[in-house]
A and B are shown apart, each in its own frame.
Chain A
Amino acid sequence: MKMIRLGAALVMAVLLSACASGPKLAEMKSAIPTLKASEGRVYFYRSSSMFGAAIQPSILLNGQKVGDSIPGGFFFVDMAPGSKEVSTETEVEKKLTFTLDAGQTRFVKTTIGMGFAVGRVYPELVDNATGEKELEETSYIGKPLTK
C-alpha cells in the first residue's frame, strides 16, 4: 500500500513538473512588445493536459528551433512576412504551412496525438478568436521580456 502511494506521488510530481509554470498572459500582457509594422507575429501554445505531458518536442519554424511544446505554455516569435513551415521533432513529422503578412498575428496550437509506438505532437493553425481565448489559460515560457 505504501509503495502504491509513493508511486502515485512520484507520478504526480513528474506530471506536474512537466507543465509550464510561467506567468499567465493576463499578468504579463503589458510586457509584450508592440508588433513592428514590417513584421508578423506567431504565437505558439499548447493546452494544459496530463495526457502525454512528458512528451515535449522542439518546435521548428522554417527549420530553426524556436521553442518547445510544453503543456500549458506559450511563446511568440516576431519575424519577416512570408511563407512559414512549422514542424515538431516527434516520431512522425507532421508539418504545417501557412503565410504570414506584415502586421498579422497568427496562432499555432500544438496538440498531442497517438503515434505508432508513442504519442506525437503536431502543429495546427487556429483562427485568432480561438487562439486568443485559449492563450488566456496558458503560461509564458518564452525568452524573458524587457520593456
Chain B
Amino acid sequence: MKMIGVILMALSVVVAGCASEVKRQSSNIVLHETTPGKRLVLEQPVMFTLDSGYQRTIKPGTEFVEIGSIQQGRVLKPLNTILTVEGAHMHEAYAVVDNDILTGFYLPVEIAFSPLSQTVVINLKEK
C-alpha cells in the first residue's frame, strides 16, 4: 500500500513537471502595409516569467519594428534577435506593447495572441 503511494507521488511529480501548452487566443492583426513601421530600441533589459513558467530576458539594444496592431496593443517584431514563447512547444513570438506595458505576444505562425499575466514595463525609444 505504501508502495502505491510512492508511485502515485512520483507520477504526480512527473506530470507536474510537464509543461502546459502556451495560452493563446486567435487574433486578427492589422498590418502597416503602406508605410514602413516605426523602429524602436529597448533601453533597459526586460526580464519576465511566461505563464508556462519559462523565463525570458530581452536585452537592451534590441531593435523592433512596429508591423501592425491587435486589440491588445502594438505588434513589435524583433530585428536583431529572436523572441520565443515556450510551453509544451516553442513558438516564435513578437512583442505586444500597450502604453509601455508588455501585454503579451503575437504568434505569427498561429496567428494568435498569447497573454502575459505578469505586469512588465518595457521602455522603448524611437530610432
Real binding pair: yes
Interface residues of A (CB under 8 A from B): 83-85, 94-99, 116, 122-127
Would you give the shortest CB distance from B111 to chain A, in whole angstroms? 9
Cα(A123)–Cα(B92), bound, Å: 12
Q: What are the residues of chain A within 8 A of B109 when measuring CB–CB? A: 83-85, 97-99
Q: When A83-B109, A99-B109, A116-B14 are in contact, do A94 and B88 touch as well, CB less than 8 Å?
A: yes
Q: A85-B109, A99-B108, A99-B109 are in contact. Are A124 and B84 (CB under 8 A)?
A: yes
Assuming the contacts A125-B84, A126-B82, asked whether A96 and B89 have C-beta atoms less than 8 A apart, the reply is yes
Contact (Cβ within 8 A) B91 A97: yes
Determine if B40 is an interface residue (Cβ-Cβ < 8 Å).
no
Provide 26 A-B residue pairs closer than 8 Å at the C-beta atoms, listed in order of the A residue: A83-B108, A83-B109, A84-B109, A85-B109, A94-B88, A94-B89, A95-B89, A96-B89, A96-B90, A96-B91, A97-B89, A97-B92, A97-B107, A97-B109, A97-B110, A99-B92, A99-B109, A116-B14, A122-B90, A123-B90, A125-B82, A125-B90, A125-B92, A127-B80, A127-B81, A127-B82
Q: Mark each residue of chain B from 63 to 94: 1 if its CB lies under 8 Å from any CB of chain A, else 0.
A: 00000000000000000111010001111100
How large, as a class, is the contact surface on chain B? 10 to 19
Q: Shortest 10 CB-CB distances between A and B: which pairs?
A: A98-B92, A97-B109, A95-B89, A83-B109, A96-B90, A127-B81, A127-B82, A97-B91, A99-B108, A125-B82
Report chain B residues within 8 Å CB of A95: 89-90
Bound Cα distance from A99 to B107, whole angstroms: 10
- B interface vs A, CB < 8 Å? 14, 80-82, 84, 88-92, 107-110
Residues of B within 8 A of A96 (CB): 89-91
Tell me which residues across on chain A come within 8 A of B81, comparing CB atoms: 127
Please report the C-alpha to C-alpha distance between residue A127 and residue B107 in the assembled complex, in whole angstroms.
Answer: 17
Q: Given A99-B109, A127-B81, A127-B82, are A94 and B90 also a contact pair (CB < 8 Å)? A: yes
CB distance from A106 to the nearest CB of B (A): 8
On chain B, the residues within 8 Å of A84 by CB distance are 109
Further pairs besides A98-B109, A116-B14, A122-B90: 15, Cβ < 8 Å: A83-B108, A83-B109, A84-B109, A85-B109, A94-B90, A95-B89, A96-B90, A96-B91, A97-B89, A99-B108, A125-B90, A125-B92, A126-B82, A127-B81, A127-B82
